[in-house]
C-alpha cells in the first residue's frame, strides 16, 4: 500500500507538472459544457467554484493523464474536561486519478486512501468534544470523531458530451460519495487548514464514504442535476475493508455554479437502514450549501462555505445543523481560518443517561486557527498550524462536560499538494487548464 502511494512521487521526479497560462478564464455563462474547468470538481461528483487553485502532480503515461494530490495533518489534539481526552493523531487523504478521452467522452478512475485507520483509531477515533456518529466496540461514539475508512474512494467516472450545452455524467463507485450534501469537509477549501471534523458532519456530509454508489447526472455549464442509488449504511468499525451491501438508498442533488466564484447545492437523501446500531430506523436528510471562492492578490484565496443539514428519523424526529466556515489564505503562506456551528443533538446522540437521553440540546462551537505555510518543497507544501475551539453548552450539559464552555485545541503539521502554478517546473503547457475537451477529474485542496 505504501509503495502504491509513493509511486506518484517517483513519477513526479520523472515528469514535470503542468504550468498553466494566464489567459482570462471563461465564465460559466459563456462556456461550453466541453470546457468545464477541472478546478470545479471536488469530492465525489460535487462541484466547487471554478475559481479554485490547481494543485498536485500531473503527468501522462500510456495515453492516460494522471493526477496525484493529497492533504495530510499530524499533531497533538487536546479536549478539555471529563469528556475530553488527548491524543497524537494523523488525518487526511491521498488521491490518484487517471483519465483519458474516448471519442466524445472522458473516462476516469480514482483511488483515494486515508491513513486514519492506522493514525486516528485510538479508542475508536480522535478526541473531539460533542462529536457523534458511528460506533466503537458496539457502542455509539461520542466526543470522538471516527476515523475515515482506508478506501475513501474507488470510482470510475464517465462523461459524455451530448451537445455544446449538455453532457451526461455517470459515476460508479464501490467506495465513494453519492450526490448528497456539500463537498465533504476533508475536501472543502474553506476547511482545508482545519484538521478536525465539523460537529454537524452527520447531518451534512457524512455519506461521503458510502460502499456502493451509482450516480447519473445531467450537466450544463451552469447547473447539474444528479440522482444516486447507493448503500446508505454508515461504515462499520472495521476500517480497512469495503462494507459492500445492497443499494437501498436514494438521493437527488441540484448544483449550480452561476459565476466563477460561487457554487451552491440543495440535496435530499433517503437511507432506510443508515445506522449500524439501529438498522431498522430510516433516515431522511436534507442539505443546502453555498460556497464562495475569492482569489486574492499574490496566490491567496478566500474560501467560505455555509451549510445547512437536517436529519429526520422516525424515533427522534427532526434535528438541524448549521455551519459557517472560512479559510482566508492571504498570500499562499499565511492562513487564518474559522468555523462556527450550531447543532441540535439528542441525549441519545451524546450517550447521556436517563432522563437526559430523551432531551434535545442545542450546542454550538466556535473555532479559530492560524496556519503558516512554508516552501513549497517540490510537490509538497508543508505548514504549521494551531487550532482552538470553544464550545457553548446549555445548562443541562454542564455537569456532564464540567463546564458550559469547554475548550479544545490542536497543534499540527500539515502537508498539502503544492499549487501546480507555484511549483516552478514545466512552464509551457497550453493556456487551457488541461488538454481535455471535457473535464471530470478533481483537484480539491
Ligand atoms: Cu467523514
355 prior amide bond cis, ω within 30? yes
Q: Is the CB of residue 299 less than 8 Å from the CB of residue 331?
A: yes
Report how far ligand 1's centroid is from the alpha carbon of 257 (Å): 24
Least confident interval from 12-16, 21-25, 123-127, 264-268: 12-16
Q: What are phi and psi of 199, to 5 degrees?
A: -70, -20
Report how far ligand 1's centroid is from the alpha carbon of 180 (Å): 13
Report how far ligand 1's centroid is from the alpha carbon of 162 (Å): 34
**Architecture, CATH, for domain 34-423:** Beta Barrel (2.40)
Torsion of CA 369, 91, 309, 133, to 10 degrees: -120
pTM of the model: 0.90
Report how far ligand 1's centroid is from the alpha carbon of 152 (Å): 9
Report how far ligand 1's centroid is from the alpha carbon of 130 (Å): 15
Report how far ligand 1's centroid is from the alpha carbon of 198 (Å): 9
With bands split at pLDDT 50, 70 and 90, how would you rate the model's confidence at 18? very low
Q: Which three cell numbers stand for residue 272?
A: 432506510
What Rg, from alpha-carbon coordinates, does the chain have?
21
Report how far ligand 1's centroid is from the alpha carbon of 184 (Å): 7
Query: Considering only CA atoms, which of 379, 381, 377, 401 is closest in space to residue 391?
Result: 401
Query: Considering only CA atoms, which of 346, 305, 303 is closest in space to residue 323?
Result: 305
Average pLDDT of the segment spanning 102-120: 95
What single-letter DSSP state applies at residue 41?
A: B
DSSP string, 278-311: -TT--EEEEEEEEEEEEEETTTEEEEEEEEEEEE
Report how far ligand 1's centroid is from the alpha carbon of 229 (Å): 19
Condensed to tens digits (0 to 9), the pLDDT of residues 391-428 reads: 999 999 999 999 999 999 999 999 999 988 533 333 33
Q: Is the CB of residue 237 less than 8 Å from the CB of residue 256?
A: no
Report how far ligand 1's centroid is from the alpha carbon of 115 (Å): 13
Report how far ligand 1's centroid is from the alpha carbon of 208 (Å): 6
Average pLDDT of the segment spanning 207-224: 98
Q: Is the CB of residue 56 less than 8 Å from the CB of residue 417?
A: yes
3-class DSSP state of 96: strand
Report how far ligand 1's centroid is from the alpha carbon of 207 (Å): 7
With bands split at pLDDT 50, 70 and 90, how would you rate the model's confidence at 26? confident
Given its phi and psi angles, is residue 237 left (phi above 0), alpha (psi -120 to 50 degrees) or beta? alpha
The number of angstroms, rounded, from the C-alpha of 440 to the middle of its chain's C-alpha atoms is: 17
Average pLDDT of the segment spanning 106-132: 96
Report how far ligand 1's centroid is from the alpha carbon of 286 (Å): 17
Separation between Cα atoms, residue 407 and residue 140, nearest integer Å: 22
Q: Which three cell numbers stand for residue 58?
A: 500531473
- Provide the H-helix boundaries in 122-266: 201-204
pLDDT at res. 24: 65
Report how far ligand 1's centroid is from the alpha carbon of 212 (Å): 16
Report how far ligand 1's centroid is from the alpha carbon of 150 (Å): 12
pLDDT at res. 45: 98
Average pLDDT, the chain: 90
pLDDT at res. 23: 55
pLDDT at position 327 over 80 = yes
Report how far ligand 1's centroid is from the alpha carbon of 239 (Å): 12
Report how far ligand 1's centroid is from the alpha carbon of 201 (Å): 7
pLDDT at res. 307: 98
Amino acid at each position: 500500500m505504501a509503495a502504491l502511494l509513493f509511486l506518484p512521487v517517483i513519477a513526479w521526479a520523472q515528469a514535470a507538472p503542468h504550468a498553466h497560462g494566464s489567459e482570462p478564464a471563461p465564465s460559466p455563462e459563456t462556456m461550453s459544457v466541453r470546457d468545464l474547468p477541472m478546478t470545479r470538481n471536488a469530492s465525489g461528483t460535487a462541484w466547487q467554484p471554478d475559481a479554485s487553485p490547481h494543485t498536485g502532480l500531473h503527468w501522462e503515461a500510456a495515453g492516460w493523464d494522471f493526477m496525484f494530490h493529497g492533504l495530510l495533518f499530524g499533531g497533538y489534539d487536546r479536549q478539555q474536561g471529563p469528556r475530553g481526552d488527548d491524543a497524537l493523531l494523523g488525518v487526511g487523504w491521498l488521491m490518484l486519478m487517471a483519465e483519458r478521452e474516448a471519442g466524445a467522452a472522458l473516462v476516469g478512475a480514482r483511488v483515494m486512501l486515508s491513513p486514519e485507520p492506522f493514525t486516528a483509531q485510538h479508542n475508536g477515533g480522535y478526541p473531539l468534544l460533542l462529536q457523534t456518529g458511528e460506533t466503537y466496540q458496539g457502542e455509539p461514539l461520542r466526543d470522538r470523531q471516527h476515523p475515515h475508512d482506508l478506501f475513501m474512494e474507488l470510482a470510475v467516472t464517465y462523461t459524455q458530451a451530448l451537445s455544446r450545452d449538455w453532457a451526461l455524467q455517470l459515476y460508479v463507485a464501490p467506495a465513494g460519495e453519492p450526490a448528497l450534501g456539500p463537498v465533504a469537509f476533508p475536501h472543502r477549501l474553506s476547511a482545508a487548514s482545519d484538521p478536525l471534523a465539523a460537529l454537524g458532519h452527520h447531518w451534512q456530509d457524512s455519506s461521503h464514504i458510502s460502499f456502493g454508489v451509482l450516480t447519473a447526472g445531467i450537466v450544463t455549464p451552469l447547473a447539474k442535476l444528479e440522482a444516486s442509488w447507493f448503500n446508505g449504511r454508515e461504515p462499520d468499525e472495521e476500517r480497512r475493508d469495503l462494507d459492500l451491501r445492497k443499494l437501498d438508498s436514494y438521493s437527488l442533488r441540484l448544483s449550480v455554479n452561476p459565476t466563477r466564484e460561487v457554487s451552491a447545492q440543495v440535496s435530499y437523501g433517503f437511507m432506510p437502514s443508515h445506522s449500524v446500531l439501529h438498522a431498522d430506523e430510516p433516515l431522511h436528510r436534507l442539505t443546502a450549501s453555498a460556497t464562495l471562492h475569492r482569489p486574492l492578490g499574490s496566490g491567496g484565496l478566500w474560501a467560505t462555505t455555509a451549510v445547512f443539514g437536517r436529519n429526520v428519523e422516525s424515533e427522534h424526529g427532526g434535528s438541524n445543523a448549521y455551519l459557517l466556515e472560512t479559510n482566508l489564505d492571504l498570500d499562499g503562506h499565511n492562513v487564518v481560518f474559522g468555523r462556527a456551528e450550531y447543532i441540535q443533538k439528542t441525549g441519545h446522540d451524546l450517550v447521556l443517561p436517563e432522563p437526559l437521553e430523551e432531551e434535545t440540546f442545542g450546542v454550538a462551537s466556535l473555532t479559530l486557527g492560524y496556519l503558516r505555510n512554508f516552501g513549497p518543497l517540490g510537490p509538497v507544501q508543508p505548514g504549521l498550524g494551531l487550532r482552538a475551539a470553544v464550545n457553548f453548552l446549555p445548562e443541562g450539559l454542564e455537569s456532564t462536560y464540567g463546564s458550559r464552555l469547554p475548550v479544545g485545541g490542536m497543534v499540527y503539521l500539515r502537508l498539502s499538494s503544492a499549487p501546480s502554478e507555484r511549483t516552478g517546473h514545466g512552464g509551457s503547457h497550453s493556456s487551457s487548464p488541461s488538454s481535455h475537451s471535457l473535464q471530470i477529474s478533481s483537484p480539491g485542496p
